[in-house]
Amino acid sequence: MGRADGSERQVSAADVDDSEASILHVDMDAFFASVELLERPDARGKPAIVGHAGGRGVVTSATYEARRYGVRSAMPMSQALRLCPNAIILPPHYDRYTEYSRKVMDIFHEVTPLVEPLSIDEAFLDVAGARRLLGSPRRIAELIRSRVHEETGLTCSVGVAATKFMAKLASGRAKPDGLLVIPRSETLSFLRPLPVGALWGVGASTQSSLERMGLLTVADLADAPLGVLQKAVGDASGRRLHELANGRDPRRVVTESREKSIGHENTFGVDVSDVDQLRRELLRLSGRVGERLRKHELEARTVAIKVRFSDFRTITRSRTLAEPTNVGRRLFEEAWDVFDALGLDVRQTPIRLIGVRAEQLLDAGGDSLALWDPDEEWRETERTLDAVSARFGRGAIGPASLVRRSRDADDEEQDGRNPKYVSD
């Protein structure tokens, strides 16, 4: 994957196109920061950070100029200013982000009805049915980029490919303000040289396990016997990675999803600066969310975390899953990866509240074209726990790692509508 500062940007030559590459992933560039720059043109081209200065503020977003100094979302503002002392600080305006997101999504829906929003600033589009009217996939991508800029003043990066995974991969490498087309026939030649970390769902732990086995590139994964991968990362994950490494991703663009979400959060009696305690709490909360999803026969396409610091500043981050799930362990693994990616030093910024939320809910066992079930290893175990809880009450049995959990947890159970803001 390209670096977040755009230094490894890759775009297609003007003549690269493919009528079979009809999946687009459109991702707004540094969305929150870009919206703020509309009101602060004097800050364009300069390192700028969105967030509140002073106290224990954290970075909400940053321009690419600031990112080149190492500034990242969710980083403590004090650290960001040490890295980039000349940065311009822009206070956030969340109402503006909602307004511009709505404008952008309206443009997408005018191009095709097959739009699958992933967050406030990105979406998949299936443009196969729009080709007769609007032209080739590349032409449609160029049209979208042009309209977004003309009608909002913002820029976006677009990946064009034959599958969702490849389209998202392409948009990430095209940032900022780029267009990358991966023809279907070139899928494998594009994929194979990439590091294993480029595959969807390969976090730091999985990547380390694979690299210890000498599997450094996507080509190594694609050529490895399936049994070897399954031994390294489990049956379901091994199959999933093997499919992706060989360019296979059968998922369609899904336009229908429920607005409701299911979440649990805990406000600690005393601010927490112990990473192990936070990890146990995320595991417990994820288990509760999974239990409620299964009870209502639902699955989630997105998992989000909420973190509130001791100074009451709050951030939320989300991740779209490779496949919908209602398995608590899967929700936890994704939630922990999202939390870990924040790079927080909780000793310096103690946490007052932490929460997990399942979003973009679907009927469980719906019309899925997946060739694998990434959650099968935990699914039966958690169903057994459901049965035990139903008979003996919650807490009768559970993960051993939760035994040390403090008894003073104060749950705030919520069923809400519409996800909170997520960072770009």
Residues making up the annotated binding site are 27, 121
Tokens found for residue 379: 């699914």
> What are φ and ψ of residue 180, in 5° steps?
-130, 120
Please count the other Cβ atoms lying within 10 Å of the Cβ belonging to residue 203: 15
N-terminal to C-terminal alpha carbon distance within the chain: 16
Residue (of 267, 17, 294) closest to 162 by Cα position: 17
Tokens found for residue 73: 């979302």
Active-site option among 36, 65, 116, 122 = 122
Give the C-alpha separation, 3 to 370, whole Å. 29
Please count the other Cβ atoms lying within 10 Å of the Cβ belonging to residue 180: 27
Give the C-alpha separation, 163 to 190, whole Å. 13
Bridge partner residues of 302 (DSSP): 320, 359
In the numeric block, the tokens 């749950």 are attached to 411
Give the C-alpha separation, 52 to 59, whole Å. 8
The residue type at 83: L
Residue (of 102, 95, 247, 235) closest to 165 by Cα position: 247
The answer to whether 26 and 171 have CB atoms below 8 angstroms apart is yes
The answer to whether 318 and 304 have CB atoms below 8 angstroms apart is yes
> What are φ and ψ of residue 90, in 5° steps?
-120, 115
Element (H, E) at 354: strand 351-363
Give the C-alpha separation, 355 to 409, whole Å. 12
Give the C-alpha separation, 118 to 324, whole Å. 13
Give the C-alpha separation, 339 to 318, whole Å. 10
State the chain's maximal CA–CA distance in angstroms: 65
The answer to whether 59 and 75 have CB atoms below 8 angstroms apart is yes
Give the C-alpha separation, 137 to 131, whole Å. 7
Q: Which residues are annotated as a binding site for Mg(2+)?
A: 27, 121
Tokens found for residue 21: 């590459």
Whether 142 is a known active-site residue: answer no
Catalytic residue list: 122
